[in-house]
Amino acid sequence: MFDFMKKRGNKTDMPHDAEIDQHIDTVLLDYQVAGTSIAQMLTGLERNGNELTLELRLPEDSEPERIQSELGQLLKPYGIQVIHMNVRLQAAKKGAGHSLPKTTNAMPQSSDPQDEKAPITKGAPKQSDIAAHPRIRHIIVVASGKGGVGKSTTTVNIALALKQLGHRVGVLDADIYGPSVPSMLGVADKRPELENEQFVPIDAHGMAMLSIGSLLGQDNTPVAWRGPKATGALMQLFNQTNWPQLDYLVIDMPPGTGDIQLTLAQRIPVTGAVIVTTPQHIALLDAQKGIEMFNKTNIPVLGVVENMALHTCSNCNHTEAIFGTGGGERIAEQYHVPLLGQLPLASGIRAQVDSGTPSVLANDEFAEYYVNIAKNIESNIDKFAKPSDETRIF
């Protein structure tokens, strides 16, 4: 039911199907509209043999027929004979769109894919052009340049801390490489329902939670998703969910600073980003890349969380900076962003998320670290709030 890239038709896929999909991904990633990869405008993608269906949100002044014909030429060498496009033209400021009729059968006029590759060049989409979500006051993305630094652990604890401070909170687990939020919140066995073709978020300790992990079957592993397919699925998850009225939606981003992260950062109306890092040199370098990516996309960086900063030995109580010291502070100073907090490396933090009852919920000795981070976010965020747009409908 939740297959985002559906392949109908032949039951047994041709051996070169994966290769065709890869070529399609490459063409879509390379093809630009208004200076931005068209992959970032995809809300749906489906191949049925030699026919490709694209669901697109295009800028208001784009020319769908021309795009369809150019894509037809670029994809013909890879066996695509027909392109169906469902287009919504996105108004530049308000985000309100209107639908164009379905157009079909884009046949190439030339067999050379490079012939008419004439991207329309304009500035990349700005956060200021994306309409605020009508029911969500603040969207916070939690990102890390590197995997395994404790991004998901921090996400769930910050979300619970914001809830404890009296806010209405949602969590979206967008980490396609390792969706761990449901198990950290003890709801791994629950599946979201569909209501009027919209996902209904799962209730996780009073928060509205949805995870890409809840939607994956055994044969549809997250690591198999690349480029447009992954971003299309994630955008679908964000847009086609009946989010309740929320003060905060906290998004656990996939680690890294590649296309998927950039696309999400450019297409979701984000209030600000929280960067999680450890004091290690490599993690810090990656965190810098993360901050630079958000700077490029005009997303305010709300601050840096330095995770696993200090270790206190449970036997002798000796405290040691096993991953080095001051890295988070240095990075915060260098980029003029706040250091939101430093968390100890503590087996208790790991044990609590492993058991589905994170520190804040268990109110253990580490809870106050997260509550302080949440307070730091809370006290700064209003100056970054997006003007709300009541006209946007999902």
Closer to ligand ATP by Cβ: residue 85 or 181: 181
10 within 8 A of 49, measured Cβ to Cβ: yes
Instruction: Confirm whether residue 151 is marked as ligand binding.
Output: yes
Closer to ligand ATP by Cβ: residue 20 or 149: 149
Residue 271 DSSP symbol? S
Q: What's the closest the beta carbon of residue 373 comes to ligand ATP, in angstroms? A: 12
Q: What's the closest the beta carbon of residue 345 comes to ligand ATP, in angstroms? A: 4
Residues 168-207 close enough to bind ligand ATP by CB under 6 A:
175, 178, 180
Q: Binding to ligand ATP by residue 32, rule CB under 6 A?
A: no
Q: Give me the amino acid identity at 46.
A: E
Q: What's the closest the beta carbon of residue 248 comes to ligand ATP, in angstroms? A: 19
Q: Binding to ligand ATP by residue 353, rule CB under 6 A?
A: yes
CA angle at residue 125 from 120 to 126, to 5 degrees? 150
Structure token digits, residue 349: 């933090």
Residue 18 parent element (H or E): helix 17-30
Stretch that binds ligand ATP, among 65-73, 121-129, 199-207, 345-353 (CB under 6 A): 345-353
Q: What's the closest the beta carbon of residue 223 comes to ligand ATP, in angstroms? A: 11
Q: Binding to ligand ATP by residue 349, rule CB under 6 A?
A: yes
Q: How many other C-beta atoms can be found within 10 angstroms of the C-beta atom of residue 314?
A: 9
Closer to ligand ATP by Cβ: residue 144 or 376: 144
Q: How far is CA 154 from CA 149, 341, 353, in A?
A: 9, 11, 10
Side-chain-facing half-sphere of 219: CA atoms under 13 Å: 4
Q: What's the closest the beta carbon of residue 204 comes to ligand ATP, in angstroms? A: 16
303 within 8 A of 376, measured Cβ to Cβ: yes
Q: Binding to ligand ATP by residue 258, rule CB under 6 A?
A: no
Tell me how far apart the alpha carbons of residues 283 and 149 are, in angstroms, rounded to a whole number.
8
Q: Binding to ligand ATP by residue 149, rule CB under 6 A?
A: yes
Residue 345 DSSP symbol? B
Closer to ligand ATP by Cβ: residue 68 or 152: 152
Stretch that binds ligand ATP, among 36-44, 147-155, 202-210, 321-329 (CB under 6 A): 147-155
Q: How far is CA 297 from CA 34, 125, 139, 221, 270, in A?
A: 15, 8, 15, 29, 10
3-state secondary structure of 132: coil
Instruction: Confirm whether residue 122 is marked as ligand binding.
Output: no
Q: Binding to ligand ATP by residue 343, rule CB under 6 A?
A: yes
Tell me how far apart the alpha carbons of residues 122 and 9 are, in angstroms, rounded to a whole number.
39
Stretch that binds ligand ATP, among 48-56, 141-149, 228-236, 331-339 (CB under 6 A): 141-149
Structure token digits, residue 268: 């979701």
Residues 266-325 close enough to bind ligand ATP by CB under 6 A:
307-308
Residues 98-137 close enough to bind ligand ATP by CB under 6 A:
none
Among 52, 176, 246, 345, binds ligand ATP (CB under 6 A): 345
Instruction: Confirm whether residue 147 is marked as ligand binding.
Output: yes
Q: What are phi and psi of 352, to 5 degrees?
A: -70, -45
Stretch that binds ligand ATP, among 51-59, 146-154, 220-228, 240-248 (CB under 6 A): 146-154
Tell me how far apart the alpha carbons of residues 22 and 16 are, in angstroms, rounded to a whole number.
10
Tell me how far apart the alpha carbons of residues 266 and 129 are, in angstroms, rounded to a whole number.
10
Q: Binding to ligand ATP by residue 151, rule CB under 6 A?
A: yes
CA angle at residue 356 from 351 to 282, to 5 degrees? 55
Stretch that binds ligand ATP, among 25-33, 140-148, 223-231, 329-337 (CB under 6 A): 140-148
What are the binding residues?
Answer: 145-152
What are the binding residues for ATP?
Answer: 145-152
> Which residues sit at the interface with ligand ATP, rule CB under 6 A?
144, 147-153, 175, 178, 180, 255, 307-308, 343, 345-346, 349-350, 353
